[in-house]
Amino acid sequence: MNTLKRLYKQRQLQLMVLPGIIFMIIFNYIPIYGIITAFKRYTIVDSMSSAPWVGLENFKLIVQDSFFWESVRNTLAISLMKLFLGFAIPIFLAIMIFEVKNMRFKKIVQTISYIPHFFSWIVLGGMLISWLSTDGFFNQTLMALGLMHKGNNHLLDPSQYWWIAVLSDLWKEVGWGTILYLAGMSRIDPTLYEAARMDGATKMTQITRITIPLLAPIISLNLILNVSGLLGSNLDQTLVLMNSQNQSHAEVINSFVYRMGLTQGDFSYATAVGLGISIVSVILLVITDRITRKLNDGHSIIV
């Protein structure tokens, strides 16, 4: 009775949360429930209730599909390359920016480095198509430097696609990736550096013994997020840069789901692929969390 009374008293507050709760039920929880599609045979002609249950049949089909495995290979290759480069380079870049003494120069570098983050993938994709075309900027530069004699279209060459995907993503996000590290470094006590300098520590020793260890929590948080995102792939990027020539190396899991589900209308098959990937991603998240927890004296980084 008491709770009811309190509930009535705070009815305005409850009324304010209500839209949020309804929103989440509709737009987050109904799609989660919709995952049962993966265990049905649901095509455009069916409705959710009329579609027959098929158990794990969709998963059996997926495992036998060579196009699926090709998309897994591409996703893993691109993600691992992104992980190695995209994880380490922002740390180095942030340290370099942090060490700049001239405030104006520092500000200019930061301003420039964040800009590409705000380009959409469609815009950047359009730029890339222009840069990498036969008479585009990339070939112009190589030819001006005498490194190449005749241009070719790099996006038509499947063997170059992984590098294009990885390096363009790096170009777009590397500056943005420094923000968290820079914020972390600004909170390091400057007297630590002074003391180190008095003891004769070189700049490099200061970086490896003070800066990097104090950034460890942020670094490991980023690592966890990166590793658990290994099977995630950038659908925008893929849809812009993929073409009939490079598809064998460009198709990633997300674009495979898109093609199977929305272009070919095989909803169940595509949902099953998505579900399988989410499960593996959660497992990866838990594993990396366990590992970094060990490295961080038992403290979890997430939540």
Contact between 86 and 173 under an 8 Å Cβ cutoff? The reply is yes
Residue 202 interacts with another protein (CB under 8 A): yes or no: yes
Among 56, 63, 88, 183, binds another protein (CB under 8 A): 183
The number of residues in the chain equals 303
Shortest Å distance, C-beta 32 to another protein: 5
Terminal-residue alpha carbon distance, the chain: 35
Nearer to another protein, 20 or 55 (CB): 20
279 binds another protein (CB under 8 A): no
Min separation Cβ 153 and another protein, Å:
8
Nearer to another protein, 111 or 159 (CB): 111
Q: Which of residues 10-29 bind another protein (CB under 8 A)?
A: 10, 12-14, 16-17, 19-21, 23-24, 26-29
Shortest approach of another protein to residue 113 CB, angstroms? 6
Phi-psi region of 100 (alpha: psi -120 to 50; beta: other; left: phi over 0): beta
| Tokens at 70, concatenated | 């090709």
Q: For residue 203, how many C-alpha atoms fall within 13 Å in the half-sphere facing its CB?
A: 5
Residue 92 is encoded by which pair of tokens?
């180095």
Residue 102 vs 191, nearer CB to another protein: 102
Question: What's 215-266 look like in SS3?
Answer: HHHHHHHHHHHHHHCCCCCCHHHHHHHCCCCCHHHHCCHHHHHHHHHHHCCC
Q: Is 115 in the site for another protein (CB under 8 A)?
A: yes
113 binds another protein (CB under 8 A): yes
Asked if residue 256 lies in contact with residue 102, where contact means CB atoms within 8 angstroms, the answer is: no
Which of these, 164, 219, 210, lies nearest to 191 by C-alpha position?
210
Kindly state whether residue 217 participates in binding another protein, applying the rule CB under 8 A: no
| Measured distance CA(212)–CA(92) in Å, rounded | 10
156 is a site residue for another protein (CB under 8 A)? yes
Which of the ranges 62-70, 79-87, 240-248, 292-300 carries the binding residues for another protein, by CB under 8 A?
240-248
Neighbours of 266 (CB within 10 A): 20
100 binds another protein (CB under 8 A): yes
- Among 71, 90, 274, 289, which residue sits at the site for another protein (rule: CB under 8 A)? 274
C-alpha span between 132 and 154 (Å, rounded): 6
- 287 contributes a contact to another protein by CB under 8 A: no
Q: Which stretch binds another protein (CB under 8 A): 61-69, 78-86, 174-182, 292-300?
A: 174-182
- Region binding another protein by CB under 8 A among candidate stretches 58-66, 80-88, 178-186, 292-300: 178-186
